[in-house]
């Protein structure tokens, strides 16, 4: 049984996939299995996966119908045999010592997750500095880690899935939500809450390729809605487990972004009725939670109730108020 299962979702990345796989095969840490999940690619990505499977016995290939990145990661998790789990995006690459360092960190500190820093790159070929300086290691318990999700320095690094080594047990009852763009945002608070300890080292060991056409480079209302819904899910989760201060903090972010996004979509497009309906349903499901919070005025809460009953009435009152203020 391998110590680490490395899962790589693959979809139409024939130009980048070989570079990604080579960076994994060049790891100084050797006790791993590499699971390549071909998610219905229509280019030669599947053939590339099969070619490498014949070269190295540690490589397993899954060919499946296209279901998105979450579905591909879940398929990899379902067959993973390692004690620890790692994820890599198929257009990215990693430092030769990344898994050696993450494995040493998770063992030395008896942690459930170890994570490193990353850097953005703009071409396939990157020179690696083999001399890695020892950096300060930050230790966090589960509550500290959840609070740090909004930290300007390490927040994003805690959220993304690909700069980490996870104890496999964290995924015993957790899978990525299929169909979401910000799938990592939907589950990271649940994963962190299950941890006793998380360790972070600031070494830039993961190389994140910035390229046109990638999922995360495309801006859409769907992307914005999923980002907001992930905050909604996190707010409800924090209230459920008793993290009231964090729930209150997230509620401010959620409330502001909800109305900003709803009005933006409602104003600029006639083709996103499904997204507007999804947003409104989510807001209504959060209304009881929001109304219990003490950091909002009665006037604000009254406006939320009006919106929940009728967005059109809410818009009319808002526009009337703006008109009166303009003419006063």
* pLDDT band at residue 322 using 50, 70 and 90 as cut-offs: low
> How many Cβ atoms from other residues are within 10 Å of residue 281's Cβ?
10
* pLDDT higher than threshold 80 for residue 134: no
How many other β-carbons are positioned within 10 Å of the β-carbon of residue 288? 8
The 10 Å Cβ neighbour count of residue 69 is: 24
Helix (H, G, I), strand (E, B) or coil at 273: helix
**Residue ranges of domains in the chain:** 4-209, 227-326
Phi/psi class of residue 38: alpha, beta or left (left: φ > 0; alpha: ψ in -120 to 50)? beta
- pLDDT for the residue numbered 64: 98
Identify the band that residue 219 occupies on the pLDDT scale cut at 50, 70 and 90: low
- Across the chain, mean pLDDT equals 91
Phi-psi region of 11 (alpha: psi -120 to 50; beta: other; left: phi over 0): beta
36-45, 122-131, 255-264, range with greatest mean pLDDT? 36-45
Query: What is the token pair recorded at 119?
Result: 């850097």
Pick the closest to residue 205 from 86, 108, 85 (CA basis). 86
Query: Residue 197: which of 142, 115, 136, 116 has the closest Cα?
Result: 142
| Per-residue pLDDT band at 300 (split at 50, 70, 90) | confident
**What are the tens digits of pLDDT across the range 224-270?**
999 999 999 999 999 999 999 999 899 989 988 998 898 888 877 66
Tokens of 84: 């620890």
CB atoms inside a 10 Å sphere around CB 121? 16
pLDDT, tens only, 65-100:
999 999 999 999 999 999 999 999 999 999 999 999
CA 195 to chain centre: 17
Helix, strand, or coil (residue 133) = coil
Of the candidates 49, 55, 3, the residue with the CA atom closest to the CA atom of residue 30? 3
**Which tokens hold the place of 191?**
């994963």
C-alpha to C-alpha distance for 129 and 182, rounded to whole angstroms = 31
* DSSP states along 6-75: EEEEESS-TTTHHHHHHHHHT-S---EEEEEEEES-SSSHHHHHHHHHHH-TTEEEEEE----HHHHHHH
Q: Which CATH class is domain 4-209?
A: alpha beta
Strands 198-209 and 59-64: unpaired
CA distance 217 to 211: 7
Write 241-244 long-range contacts (CB < 8 A, 24+): 241/193, 243/143, 243/146
Ranges assigned E (strand) in the chain: 4-10, 32-39, 59-64, 84-87, 93-94, 113-121, 137-140, 164-167, 198-209
Distance from C-alpha of 188 to C-alpha of 226, rounded to nearest angstrom? 14
3-state secondary structure of 97: coil
For residues 217 and 32, give the distance between their C-alpha atoms in angstroms, rounded to a whole number: 31
Enter the DSSP assignment of 1.
-
């Amino acid at each position: 049984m391998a110590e680490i299962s490395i899962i790589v979702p693959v979809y139409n990345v024939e130009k980048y996939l070989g570079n990604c796989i080579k960076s994994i095969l060049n790891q100084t840490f050797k006790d791993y299995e590499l699971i390549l999940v071909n998610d219905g690619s229509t280019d030669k990505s599947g053939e590339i996966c099969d070619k490498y499977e014949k070269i190295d016995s540690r490589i397993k290939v899954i060919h499946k119908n296209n279901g998105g990145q979450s579905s591909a990661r879940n398929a990899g998790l379902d067959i993973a045999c390692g004690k620890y789990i790692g994820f890599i995006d198929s257009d990215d690459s990693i430092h030769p010592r990344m898994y050696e360092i993450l494995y040493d960190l998770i063992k030395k500190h008896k942690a459930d997750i170890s994570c490193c820093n990353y850097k953005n790159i703009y071409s396939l070929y990157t020179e690696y500095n083999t001399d890695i300086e020892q950096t300060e290691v930050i230790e966090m318990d589960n509550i500290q880690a959840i609070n740090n999700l909004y930290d300007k320095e390490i927040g994003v690094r805690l959220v993304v899935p690909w700069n980490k080594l996870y104890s496999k047990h964290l995924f015993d009852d957790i899978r990525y939500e299929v169909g979401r763009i910000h799938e990592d945002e939907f589950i990271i608070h649940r994963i962190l809450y299950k941890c006793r300890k998380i360790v972070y080292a600031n070494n830039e060991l993961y190389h994140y390729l910035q390229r046109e056409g990638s999922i995360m480079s495309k801006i859409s209302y769907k992307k914005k809605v999923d980002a907001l819904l992930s905050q909604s899910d996190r707010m409800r989760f924090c209230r459920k487990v008793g993290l009231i201060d964090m729930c209150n903090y997230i509620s401010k972010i959620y409330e502001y972004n909800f109305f900003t996004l709803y009005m933006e979509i409602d104003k600029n497009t006639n083709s996103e009725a499904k997204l507007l309906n999804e947003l409104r349903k989510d807001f209504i499901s959060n209304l009881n939670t929001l109304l219990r919070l003490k950091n909002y005025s009665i006037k604000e809460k009254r406006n939320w109730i009006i919106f929940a009953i009728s967005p059109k009435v809410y818009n009319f009152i808002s526009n009337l108020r703006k008109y009166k203020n303009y003419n006063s």
